[in-house]
């Protein structure tokens, strides 16, 4: 404002009086006011507000009313501001007075706190003065009480020492027990005064009494159970009564631990002397076949001991259990020595008998005793075990004796190996009828279940013997014979195709010619029929297909059961061996068997379609005059599918996923082969109608590509009925293949989406190929454009084949190929074979998960059949023509030579 006053020109410039408030302040104002008036908004714009009030010239008519309302609002605001300003006149003075009053209150409060503190200090001093005498009296009382207690203990110790000496001499152990416990406790109390001579003397006397009592009690126990020989005077050492001995054992429990330990060690050894002598390793009764007699001896001995002397020893001594533990230790050591010396005499039956009897005995001991003394074996060469999995295991007798057999469990594993070898050989020697399941819908060989039942018994038995290295060795045996079962039983039961003998075929065919020379033409026709029939690849019969399905279902069952077996082994075996349990190789073996079976089924079904495809190539497609129903080769293919696929589906009812995989692989094999057959056809050729096969492929036009309208191939009005028939047949095949999983079934199921996708994609390409052949090649640019639109993923190789199907001349082909190369994407490449001839995907598989056996290359037998059919089709006319003129027997040799020369090597 000062600047505006100094500079007169500044009045001409607009002054920005806009007040910008912080966001939090603005939000607080909005919460308090909560006004909807546009004038109260923080982003108020006068120009917009005026435009809203007066949007046009007609609205200016009420400007006076708007101005009057504005002036009225301004007056109200001025009044409010005036009242607020007047109300704030006395605010400063009121604040100063309130502050002064607060300061005075704080001063008064501080004074009160100071007064209270001083009074509390005075009160504390008074309490200390009052309680000073009480503390002195309490201290004196405690000292007096401690002195009296010490004097009483001293009196007890002095009198007790003399009393103990007198009672010990009289062997009054029942009266010694309580005073002895008290004196031992008192003596422990006086250990802090050991520097006093009198106290030291008394402590020495107490120690001497304990030593004498220990020696005396030990001697009394030995004299009672093993009387000493008569003395020199003819008498016998004093023997205590059973009551005195019982009290003596109670006294021994109070004395030092070595006393009790020595008595127990001597007594237990005494009890087992008979056992050691009776079952010495040189005795016949000590061998494993009589191991149950060892355990029977202990049972009888414990019953006899508890009946006679069970009440003498205190219960916490656990005499019976200690005798049993020592018995187990001695038995384990003796068995170890005798088995090491006579290892060659141990067979699996004897070993399992001994282990079974021992395990039963150990289970009986676990039920009979608590195992409280087993912990004392740690560090003494014993091997106590537990049933828990944590660090604090429940003591158990399991393995206390049986651990000695672990070193010989390889005998058991070897026995299982031999048993499995015999079992697999037995399965391999079974004939087909024994292998087939009784229920035709079961689809699994019964001996497969027998094998895994045997595996389960072995695993349970081995778990009882040991879950450590023996079980791992057993796992290795399982792995070995799983592979043996797959090879010797499953793979061996897969039917084999029998290839026909070529020499036998020729000789049998020649016999037809020599049998009836007068009707040579008929015989020659029969010869050709036989050769064509023998050129067919061999196929499986229905029973063979069922057997393959049985093998596949059995392999699937084995695959699933092997996974369960692996999980169970990992559960049962010791943790140290869990990571070494791996049956993946064996699962791969069954996977390969399954893949082999599926491939055989696919190959058989594919072979059944080969003759139909060969028939397809023999049809004069360019001579078709009208489009009718589907062709004969389609009917043959459908018949083949309906005869074979339902059998496979019914016998793989429990293996739906592998049946679906079979359908996948078949269409992945058949569709490329069908497309490859299409490339061999000439459906638009317009040459002569001669009967020779050369007329189907030797049609040529005399015009160039520029004159394509005059050529048969390029004539838009040429005969394309053959292509239309092929398109109809292809659509029929597509429909059949889409329904292949449910073909011949009363229950129609929707095929999997992945299968449908493969069929649609493959057969759509076949349809596009036919449609491209139907297109005229003139004008060439339009033909190339249509070709790229219908077959966008094609290449130069396929383009060559399409031109061959249209019987385009070589010169025109070169020109069209050059034009195609200029028009097609740069990624199109030529796929050629080793000899340079282009092929169509014959070495590639279109299905996912297909193996090496899923290629669409014809097998050697199929190729030989096609070559033989082609050769014989050319040779047929020659043989028939020669048959009328060759009437003499001497010229039959020339016919044989002719046929041999025309046949492929």
The string of DSSP letters for 442-453 reads T-S-HHHHHHHH
Q: What is the DSSP string of 108-162?
A: HHHHHHHHHHHHHHHHHHHHHHHHHHHHHHHHHHHHHHHHHHHHHHHHHHHHHHH
Percentage of the chain surpassing pLDDT 90?
22
Distance CA 525, CA 883 (A): 10
Q: Is the pLDDT of residue 281 over 90?
A: no
pTM of the predicted model as reported, rounded to 2 decimal places: 0.62
pLDDT attached to residue 766: 92
pLDDT attached to residue 394: 66
897, containing H or E segment: helix 892-902
Among left, alpha and beta (phi > 0; psi -120 to 50; other), residue 651 is alpha
Q: Is the pLDDT of residue 577 over 70?
A: yes
Q: What is the DSSP string of 26-83?
A: HHHHHHHH----GGGSTT--HHHHHHHH-SSSGGGGGHHHHHHHHHHHHHHHHHHHHH
- What angle is formed at CA 268 by the lines to CA 263 and CA 269, rounded to 5 degrees? 105
Backbone angles phi, psi at 653, to 5 degrees: -65, -30
- Banded model confidence at residue 316, pLDDT cuts 50, 70, 90: confident
Backbone angles phi, psi at 396, to 5 degrees: -145, 150
pLDDT attached to residue 209: 74
Tens of pLDDT, residues 680-733: 988 875 433 333 333 333 333 333 444 444 343 344 445 688 888 889 999 999
Asked whether the beta carbons of 599 and 854 are under 8 A apart, the reply is yes
Q: Is the pLDDT of residue 567 over 90?
A: yes
Dig out the tokens for 736 from the structure. Answer: 């059949």
Environment class of 65 (CB within 10 Å of its CB; exposed 0-12, middle 13-18, buried 19+): exposed
pLDDT attached to residue 187: 66
Tens of pLDDT, residues 285-296: 889 888 989 999
Tokens 């996912």 correspond to: 848
Dig out the tokens for 191 from the structure. Answer: 């250990």
pLDDT attached to residue 211: 77
CB-based contacts of 785, cutoff 8 Å, min separation 6: 823
Q: Is the pLDDT of residue 568 over 80?
A: yes
- Banded model confidence at residue 520, pLDDT cuts 50, 70, 90: very low
Higher pLDDT, 349 or 89: 349
Distance CA 681, CA 696 (A): 9
C-alpha pair distances (Å), 107 with each of 102, 111, 113, 114, 119 = 9, 6, 10, 11, 19
**Preceding peptide of 268 cis, ω within 30°:** no
Dig out the tokens for 118 from the structure. Answer: 């001083």
Distance CA 240, CA 238 (A): 7
pLDDT attached to residue 751: 87
Distance CA 680, CA 805 (A): 7
pLDDT attached to residue 498: 66
Distance CA 562, CA 584 (A): 9
- Banded model confidence at residue 755, pLDDT cuts 50, 70, 90: very high
Helix 319-341 to helix 291-309 angle, to the nearest 10 degrees?
160
Tens of pLDDT, residues 86-118: 877 777 778 888 888 899 999 999 999 999 999
- The SS3 of residue 590 is helix
Reported in sequence order, the residue ranges of 333-383 that DSSP labels E, i.e. its strands, are none
Task: Summarize the confidence of residues 443-452 as an average pLDDT.
Answer: 87
Q: Please tell me what DSSP assigns to residue 226.
A: S
pLDDT attached to residue 533: 46
Distance CA 176, CA 704 (A): 137
Distance CA 500, CA 670 (A): 25
Distance CA 849, CA 658 (A): 12
Residue 690 C-beta-side C-alpha neighbours within 13 Å? 10
Tens of pLDDT, residues 228-277: 555 444 444 566 777 878 878 877 777 777 888 888 888 888 889 889 98
Range with the poorest average pLDDT among 111-115, 146-150, 454-458, 832-836:
832-836
pLDDT attached to residue 155: 63
Distance CA 691, CA 877 (A): 10
Dig out the tokens for 46 from the structure. Answer: 């006068």
Higher pLDDT, 713 or 429: 429
Range with the poorest average pLDDT among 14-18, 410-414, 728-732:
14-18
Higher pLDDT, 425 or 177: 425
Task: Summarize the confidence of residues 816-831 as an average pLDDT.
Answer: 70
78-92, 119-133, 227-241: range with highest mean pLDDT: 119-133
Which string of b and e fits 749-773 if b means at least 16 CB within 10 Å?
eebeeebeebbeebbebbebbbebb
Number of C-beta neighbours around residue 559 at 10 A: 17
C-alpha pair distances (Å), 400 with each of 324, 325, 374, 405, 574 = 11, 8, 10, 11, 18
Dig out the tokens for 268 from the structure. Answer: 């237990």
Task: Summarize the confidence of residues 110-131 as an average pLDDT.
Answer: 89
- What angle is formed at CA 245 by the lines to CA 241 and CA 246, rounded to 5 degrees? 120
pLDDT attached to residue 213: 78
Q: Is the pLDDT of residue 881 over 50?
A: no
Distance CA 479, CA 481 (A): 6
- The SS3 of residue 505 is helix
Task: Summarize the confidence of residues 571-596 as an average pLDDT.
Answer: 93
Percentage of the chain surpassing pLDDT 70?
71
Backbone angles phi, psi at 385, to 5 degrees: -120, 175
Task: Summarize the confidence of residues 856-865 as an average pLDDT.
Answer: 39
Task: Summarize the confidence of residues 829-854 as an average pLDDT.
Answer: 36
Q: Is the pLDDT of residue 835 over 70?
A: no
Task: Report the chain's C-alpha Rg in angstroms.
Answer: 56
Distance CA 296, CA 311 (A): 23
Asked whether the beta carbons of 674 and 681 are under 8 A apart, the reply is no
Distance CA 613, CA 676 (A): 10
Cα 24 to the chain's mean position, in Å?
Answer: 60
pLDDT attached to residue 393: 59
Distance CA 343, CA 393 (A): 34
- The SS3 of residue 385 is strand
Q: Is the pLDDT of residue 807 over 60?
A: yes
Distance CA 485, CA 21 (A): 90
Dig out the tokens for 879 from the structure. Answer: 């043989």
Distance CA 811, CA 804 (A): 12
Backbone angles phi, psi at 832, to 5 degrees: -125, 155
- The SS3 of residue 832 is strand
Mean pLDDT (the chain, rounded) = 75
386, containing H or E segment: strand 385-386
Number of C-beta neighbours around residue 430 at 10 A: 15
Higher pLDDT, 884 or 553: 553
């Amino acid at each position: 404002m000062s600047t505006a006053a100094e500079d007169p020109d500044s009045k001409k410039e607009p002054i920005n009086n806009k007040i910008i408030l912080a966001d939090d302040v603005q939000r607080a104002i909005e919460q308090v006011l909560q006004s909807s008036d546009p004038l109260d908004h923080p982003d108020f714009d006068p120009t917009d507000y005026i435009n809203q009030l007066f949007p046009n010239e007609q609205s200016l008519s009420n400007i006076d009313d708007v101005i009057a309302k504005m002036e009225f609002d301004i007056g109200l605001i001025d009044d409010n501001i005036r009242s607020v300003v007047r109300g704030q006149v006395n605010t400063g003075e009121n604040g100063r007075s309130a502050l002064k009053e607060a300061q005075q209150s704080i001063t008064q409060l501080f004074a009160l706190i100071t007064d209270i503190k001083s009074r509390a200090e005075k009160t504390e001093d008074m309490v200390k003065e009052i309680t000073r005498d009480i503390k002195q009296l309490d201290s004196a009382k405690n000292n007096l009480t401690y002195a009296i207690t010490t004097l009483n203990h001293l009196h007890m110790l002095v009198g007790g020492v003399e009393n103990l000496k007198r009672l010990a001499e009289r062997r009054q152990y029942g009266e010694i027990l309580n005073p002895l416990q008290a004196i031992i406790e008192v003596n422990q109390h006086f250990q802090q005064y050991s520097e006093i001579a009198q106290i030291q003397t008394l402590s020495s006397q107490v120690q001497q009494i304990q030593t004498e009592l220990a020696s005396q009690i030990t001697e009394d126990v030995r004299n009672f159970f093993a009387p000493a020989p008569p003395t020199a005077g003819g008498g016998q050492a004093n023997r205590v009564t059973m009551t005195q001995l019982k009290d003596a054992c109670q006294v021994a429990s109070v004395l030092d631990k070595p006393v009790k330990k020595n008595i127990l060690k001597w007594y237990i050894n005494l009890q087992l002397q008979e056992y050691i002598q009776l079952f010495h390793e040189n005795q016949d009764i000590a061998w494993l076949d009589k191991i149950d007699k060892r355990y029977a001896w202990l049972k009888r001995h414990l019953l006899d001991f508890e009946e006679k002397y069970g009440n003498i020893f205190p219960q916490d001594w656990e005499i019976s259990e200690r005798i049993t533990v020592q018995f187990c230790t001695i038995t384990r050591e003796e068995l170890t020595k005798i088995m090491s010396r006579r290892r060659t005499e141990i067979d699996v039956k004897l070993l399992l008998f001994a282990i079974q009897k021992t395990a039963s005995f150990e289970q009986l001991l676990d039920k009979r005793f608590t195992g409280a003394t087993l912990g004392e074996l740690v560090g003494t060469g014993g091997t106590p075990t537990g049933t828990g999995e944590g660090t604090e295991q429940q003591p158990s007798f399991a393995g206390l004796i049986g651990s000695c057999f672990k070193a010989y469990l390889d005998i058991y594993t070897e026995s299982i190996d031999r048993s499995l070898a015999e079992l697999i050989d037995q399965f391999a020697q079974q004939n087909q009828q024994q292998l087939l399941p009784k229920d035709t819908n079961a689809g699994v060989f019964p001996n497969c279940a027998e094998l895994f039942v045997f595996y389960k018994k072995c695993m349970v038995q081995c778990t009882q013997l040991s879950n450590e290295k023996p079980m791992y060795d057993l796992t290795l045996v399982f792995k070995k014979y799983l592979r043996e079962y797959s090879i010797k039983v499953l793979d061996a039961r897969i039917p084999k195709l029998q290839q026909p003998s070529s020499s036998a075929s020729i000789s049998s065919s020649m016999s037809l010619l020599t049998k009836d020379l007068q009707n040579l033409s008929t015989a020659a026709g029969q010869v050709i029929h036989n050769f064509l029939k023998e050129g067919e690849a061999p196929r499986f019969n229905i029973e063979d297909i069922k057997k393959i399905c049985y093998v596949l279902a059995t392999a699937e069952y084995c695959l699933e059961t092997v996974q369960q077996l692996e999980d169970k082994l990992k559960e049962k075996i010791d943790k140290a061996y869990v990571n070494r349990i791996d049956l993946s190789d064996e699962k791969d073996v069954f996977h390969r068997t399954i893949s082999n079976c599926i491939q055989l089924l696919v190959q058989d079904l594919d072979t059944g379609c080969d003759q139909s495809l060969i028939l397809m190539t023999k049809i004069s497609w360019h001579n078709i005059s009208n489009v009718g129903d589907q062709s004969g080769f389609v009917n043959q293919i459908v018949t083949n599918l309906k005869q074979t696929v339902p059998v496979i589906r019914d016998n793989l009812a429990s293996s739906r996923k592998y049946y679906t995989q079979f359908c996948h692989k078949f269409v992945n094999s058949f569709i490329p082969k069908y497309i490859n057959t299409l490339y061999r056809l000439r459906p638009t050729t317009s040459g002569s109608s001669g009967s020779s096969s050369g007329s189907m492929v030797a049609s040529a036009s005399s015009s160039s590509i520029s004159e394509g309208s005059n050529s048969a191939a390029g004539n838009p009005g040429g005969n394309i009925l053959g292509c239309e028939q092929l398109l109809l047949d292809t659509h029929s095949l597509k429909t059949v293949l889409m329904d292949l999983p449910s073909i011949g079934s009363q229950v129609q199921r929707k095929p999997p989406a992945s299968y449908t996708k493969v069929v649609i994609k493959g057969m759509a390409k076949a349809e596009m190929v036919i449609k491209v052949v139907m297109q005229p090649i003139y004008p060439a640019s339009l033909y190339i454009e249509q070709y790229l639109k219908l077959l966008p993923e094609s290449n130069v190789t396929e383009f060559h084949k399409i031109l061959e199907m249209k019987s385009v001349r070589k010169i025109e082909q070169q020109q069209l190929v050059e034009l195609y190369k200029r028009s097609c994407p740069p990624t199109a490449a030529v796929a050629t074979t080793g000899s340079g001839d282009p092929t169509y995907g014959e070495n590639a598989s279109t299905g996912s998960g297909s193996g090496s056996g899923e290629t669409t290359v014809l097998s050697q037998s199929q190729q030989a059949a096609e070559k033989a059919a082609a050769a014989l089709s050319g040779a047929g006319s020659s043989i028939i023509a020669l048959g009328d003129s060759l009437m003499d027997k001497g010229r039959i040799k020339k016919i044989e030579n002719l046929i041999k020369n025309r046949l492929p090597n």
